[in-house]
Chain A
């Protein structure tokens, strides 16, 4: 049976999920403008290639995959969080600065796969199944990866390794 044109679904996903897509893209590119362009270009490609969507898994996971690919190629400075850091500095809130810096460095040092799983879990609010579909990996791999990420980051926050 022929699948209905997913264009309206794409528009709804864009309008409702834009902030989350932008957030993850920004974490990947390290730059808000690059992130915005990655989201725009990602959805443009989703529209253009929507006929190739086979319906295996939700449309959202398919779009995440496209947007992530755009973001990965748009940025060469993962988690360059200058804007947020400067904002905090300007606010004079230095109490948690060391901890945040350790976390920032630790996240930056994670392998790309681990970073993406982390971002999709915490910034995109996706569950294991959706993350697995978005990254093209097994669900069990998501679980194992996230466990490894948790271990690394907890260690970074408690013992100061990165």
Chain B
């Protein structure tokens, strides 16, 4: 494998290996409850509560535009009342978790990488280690757990707001019959769609926290290094979310069929 040393592929594989080891270490540490409960609560507040405005606006306008576009196409074939069903299924299984993850990765992933990166260049991470504190226990685990808790809650919020906004646009602005729209939405949406969305959001939460922490902990020295780590955290987390979303959709949908859900 020496031919890979120094190549783009070699560096990418090394990074993948390191982030996998970081994930293993963080999960093992999380299971032993070495993290501070206070830090966990603060991270839930920072990742969950402080991201709400972004997620609500994103969910609402995505639901609204999706309702409008679906209506414009369905109206041509006189399927107006199926509009909310399409919005509901899309918001629950795809757009809700993915858009929430992308917005949170922009806000939280960048903040995590910048904070940990600054700690690295100012020797604060070395100081943690000299104080007999493992950086993974103190920095990574609370962020990982908080992200895994906050993302599903934010996703549910985005789903609900998106569907509500699409109802307002569809029924009150575009004149869809509310009874049939509501009936079709309930008929074609099912629990499995919501479950798929929630499972995805837990995975995306892990990706955002781990990529942010990894980029921060391995950032180059100086302001340039922190800036680059911050940008890379957002870009890599977003791309990973989009790529993993495809595979999660394929696996989870097949699983639902197998389980008869």
Q: Do A and B bind each other?
A: no
Residues of B within 8 A of A (CB): none
